[in-house]
Structure 1
Amino acid sequence: MTPPPPVTGQAAAGRDTAVLLKNATVVDTRDGTLAPGTDVLIRADRIVDVRPGIVVTDGPEPFTVDARGKYVVPGYADMHAHPLGQRPEEEARDLELLLAHGVTGFRQMSGSLALLEKRASGTLGLPAASPELLALPGPLLLTPVNAATGEQAVAAVREQHAAGADFIKAAMVTPEVFFAAQAEALRLGLPIVGHLPVGIDVPKASRIGMKSIEHLGPGVGLFACCSTDGAHVHANAAGQPAMKVPPFKLPFMERVMERVVKKLVINPINRTKPADIENLRLAVRTFDDDLAAELAERFVADGTWQVPTLIRVKTQELCDDPAFANDPDLRYMGEATVRSWKAAARKFTAFPAEARETFRAVYRRQLELTKLFDDAGVPMLVGSDCSGAAWVVPGASLHHEFDELARAGLTPLRVLQMTTLRAAEFLDATDTMGTVEPGRRADLVLLDADPVERVEHLHRIAGVVRAGQHYGAAELDALKERVAARA
């Protein structure tokens, strides 16, 4: 058994001790301006003062951090993550890894009525070193499990609304079911987000009020809108076979489907048929920048957000890249998990060379589409799609997402905004998060270098403050080592 770490830092001074970051450079996430020589005073879980020369004259001596040469930004938000709902040890591992990599908040993208009930009763039981749960849905809408018809989908939306869901997530549903669920969700004041159903009218879904589209579709949904032969791309996709399930409802069907989906999400690309690959090839070949710009204008006008999760689509479409299998961060994951990821990679290598080249071409187009959306002003968020996806290690994956967004051509400031300020805007929470200002939650990241200068500097974490608790670099390293020792 790994011995407990020595009590150091703020923990040694007392959990309720105020924290004072001295002589930091505070980064304004609105425009990237820097305020050097600034102190940040934290009491409990709130920032109470931000200015040069703070002197605390009331109460006990604060725990003081010499932040000279450090850059302070809001804590990172992973806006597409799945740490909850796993086995307790996996859940704790992933939440601790997220925090150790600077993630102080996450949007849980798969839920259940049980999780909603636990949140309502305050019994989620998250570890002490955990990011904040920012939003939680009920069960995914899946055709035909809980959304075989529009009526069934409406009933599911009502049930989730009554249980306190923050949003509705559509996964594998038909267009008819999606629009029925969307109408009911909007009537109840619930955002609807998720995957684009195959063959759906994307501009219509955006215009009516789909709040966020995940994974750039996934599939050919957005590409069909950007293709000079979009009608054929749509029609070909609509001919794909639906998920096979028994023609009658079995006891525990939803639990069975949860296991099926868990296995599927390791790498859905592995289910791709030759006809699907040919359709992807057609979509890539007929991609048109002007049509993509029209789609971007639609999203801007409607306020439809995008969460590209580039690292997720990359690990699917380039699953056999040796860099993934050689990633030193795999040491944090259990042996069974790594074996399943390696098995998915072996299965991927069974695709013909021309198919794998098509997948690589699709990814290049997805990078281009992300840049085009950003240039057009489409609102976007950073998300990594941990946990469960092959080669996506929680926490580290968000940093890989930063790098992929930079590879697409986004500026360092834009990437920083997408994981801080834009997340606050999406959640309508700019009064409590997204900037380093009095009244905001004390969720912060201290960096060794200017994050507005280079995206790589977002990786150089010197400390994290979560709900007023300061974790120095040594404590973050120790947290990672404890996770690795349990793997």
Structure 2
Amino acid sequence: MNVRFLVLGLALSIAAPASAQVAAQAAPRYWVRDVAVIPLDTDEVLSHRDVLIEDGRIRRIAAASGKLRVGDATVVDGRDKYLLPGFVDAHVHLATEGGIRASKDPTISGLDLGADHRYDRHVMLSLLKAGVTGAANLGGSVGSDDDLLRLRGEIDAGREPGPKLYVGKLINGPRAAVAVRPDGQPVPASKPEAPTTAADGIAAVQRAKQRGYDFIKPYQFLNRETYLAIVEEAKRQGYITTGHLPELGCASCADRAFAFAHPMTNIAHSEELARYGRIGSDLAPADIEALAQAVADSGMSVTPTLVTLKTIVGMYVQREVPAVPHGWNDTVDPVTRRDWAAPGNRYLSQAFRDQEGADTFSAGYDFARVLTRALWKRKVPLTVGTDAALPGLAFGVSVQQEMIELREIGLKPLEVLRAASLNAHRLFDPQAGSGAAREGERANLVLLDADPLADIHNTGKVAGVFTQGRWLSIGEIDRQLAQGAEFERGLQRQIEQRKAAAAK
């Protein structure tokens, strides 16, 4: 079963207003007073601590005695609050202005987006609002990727508010190259943009390196030879790989043993493993256990994306897009909302319902939950990913929804929080420290109003975030989102006018 929704590029970056830029320059030091620190690299909670943040790093964690010298630091009140590593969406498809501008869809191409990147800013703020201080984009259009690479630099330099971005290069071959049943279509000539040879697969990785991508996403329509070349060249270039397992069943395809013998760093969905466990028959419990052990033995980690399958099943059963959590509806931008509605949303189409295997979607969600639990029991590292903005999954809050999914299959809150932060830091940025809330570590942190170890739902009670060492309170995030409301309404009017014109 392969029910993947690739949102064609749409993400964001928007120039911060001058006041926000000045604030970032004028307040490089912060003093979080009397806060409970949850480092996450151990099971301890450091109660009543003062935390000094300077130059984007945690400089000092000391007992809250009032003796910490902080000079001109901006004070953040941490009383009755919890400071911990910020959350990371390890599988997201960010909507960008670059994707909109490059789109061939007349309803959105040529939209007046202004000159100050308001659209991009809206998406970034939506992530921060949920405590998401890191996001890994797993592939989009060339225009969308260009925008994200630019935006990554702006955020790193402190000129834009947003999470730490990791931009992945998706590399995929043509579907015809791995057709299990010949359809009479010739296989296109190989090229780095859609490689079917090892040489072009290697060239694709090298081009990604030259353009400054952060990691490689192999996709499933790569033949055996090309898949191996991409994985091996990525290693040589110092890249991690996270993506889809290769197809099975054709003459040039990989097989299960080959894929596990030449593993990616991370598998992008638990669902991907369904093809590797169920070959011609339903899976028995022993098959699931054997599959989980094979993953553990390979050394791969997994991003389960359980909420993704749950949402797809919801659309299949209910024939409508599930409602986003209360209070988050206004964060869904008009272009994304348009993609969620018919006819753009393929999950609401009759063709989707009529495809072979559609009646197994619900069982696929059950399989992913059982398999993910088996992976967890074998200590396979898990990360939190959402596949947002798949219909029904809003940027930011969907990370909290996935954390709840992992809690419901048995992970303890501490383990869920590690999956949502430390494991992702170690996957995408292994040279940049552990990601824990410790002295010397980078200050990408979330401040919560309630204890997430007592109830994972408390991850939704965000008081503010430190992103790249810069503080944004939830009030300031909401204020900046409200500033963009008129732009969002104008964008919606443009889309409606275009739809009306097309209808005529």
2:173 alignment counterpart: 142
Deviation at 1:46, TM superposition (A): 1.1
How has the CA–CA distance of structure 1 residues 96 and 433 changed in structure 2, closer, same or farther, with 3 Å as cutoff?
farther
SS in 1 for 2:398: helix
- With the length of structure 1 as denominator, give the TM-score of the two structures: 0.77
1:368 alignment counterpart: 370
AA aligned to 1:332 is T
SS in 1 for 2:293: helix
Quick one: distance in 2 between partners of 1:334 and 1:459?
A: 20
Deviation at 1:118, TM superposition (A): 7.7
Match of 2:298 among 286, 298, 302: 302
How has the CA–CA distance of structure 1 residues 409 and 5 changed in structure 2, closer, same or farther, with 3 Å as cutoff?
same
Deviations 1:272-292 (A, max 9, x none): xxxxxxxxxx5xxx2222222
Deviations 1:393-432 (A, max 9, x none): 1111111111222222222111100111112222353753
AA aligned to 2:292 is A
SS in 2 for 1:137: strand
Match of 2:240 among 179, 191, 216: 191
How has the CA–CA distance of structure 1 residues 468 and 152 changed in structure 2, closer, same or farther, with 3 Å as cutoff?
closer
Quick one: distance in 2 between partners of 1:309 and 1:448?
A: 26
Deviations 1:115-136 (A, max 9, x none): 8888888885456221112x32
Match of 1:212 among 266, 283, 286: 266
- Structure 2: gaps (5+ residues): 1-15, 101-116, 175-187, 249-253, 489-504
- Would you say how many aligned residue pairs link Structure 1 and Structure 2? 422
Quick one: distance in 1 between partners of 2:48 and 2:196?
A: 59
In 2, are the aligned partners of 1:22 and 1:67 still within 8 Å (CA)? yes
AA aligned to 1:381 is T
SS in 1 for 2:353: coil
SS in 2 for 1:79: strand
In 2, are the aligned partners of 1:115 and 1:124 still within 8 Å (CA)? no
- With the length of structure 2 as denominator, give the TM-score of the two structures: 0.75
Quick one: distance in 1 between partners of 2:23 and 2:274?
A: 55
2:228 alignment counterpart: 179
1:324 alignment counterpart: 322
Quick one: distance in 2 between partners of 1:397 and 1:460?
A: 14
Deviations 1:6-64 (A, max 9, x none): 979x977973242111111111312332111111111121110001135344642x211
Quick one: distance in 1 between partners of 2:402 and 2:483?
A: 24
SS in 2 for 1:182: helix
SS in 2 for 1:403: helix
How has the CA–CA distance of structure 1 residues 5 and 130 changed in structure 2, closer, same or farther, with 3 Å as cutoff?
closer
* Residue 333 (1) aligns with residue 332 (2): yes
Of stretches 326-335 and 401-410 in structure 1, the one that deviates more from structure 2 is: 326-335
Quick one: distance in 2 between partners of 1:348 and 1:379?
A: 37
How has the CA–CA distance of structure 1 residues 417 and 327 changed in structure 2, closer, same or farther, with 3 Å as cutoff?
closer
Quick one: distance in 2 between partners of 1:97 and 1:350?
A: 30
Deviation at 1:66, TM superposition (A): 2.0
How has the CA–CA distance of structure 1 residues 185 and 346 changed in structure 2, closer, same or farther, with 3 Å as cutoff?
closer
Deviations 1:160-187 (A, max 9, x none): 2333333221124233231232233334
Q: How does 1:325-404 map to 2 (within 5 A)?
A: 325=323, 328=326, 329-343=328-342, 344=345, 345-347=347-349, 351=353, 358-387=360-389, 389-404=390-405
Quick one: distance in 1 between partners of 2:121 and 2:153?
A: 11
1:152 alignment counterpart: 200
Deviation at 1:348, TM superposition (A): 5.6
SS in 1 for 2:53: strand
2:500 alignment counterpart: none
Deviation at 1:368, TM superposition (A): 1.3
Deviations 1:191-233 (A, max 9, x none): 3321112214234323323111112243xxx224333xx2x3x
Match of 1:22 among 22, 27, 33: 33
In 2, are the aligned partners of 1:332 and 1:483 still within 8 Å (CA)? no
* Residue 162 (1) aligns with residue 175 (2): no
- Structure 1: gaps (5+ residues): 233-281
SS in 1 for 2:349: helix
2:412 alignment counterpart: 411
SS in 2 for 1:138: strand
AA aligned to 2:208 is Q
1:269 alignment counterpart: none
How has the CA–CA distance of structure 1 residues 323 and 208 changed in structure 2, closer, same or farther, with 3 Å as cutoff?
closer
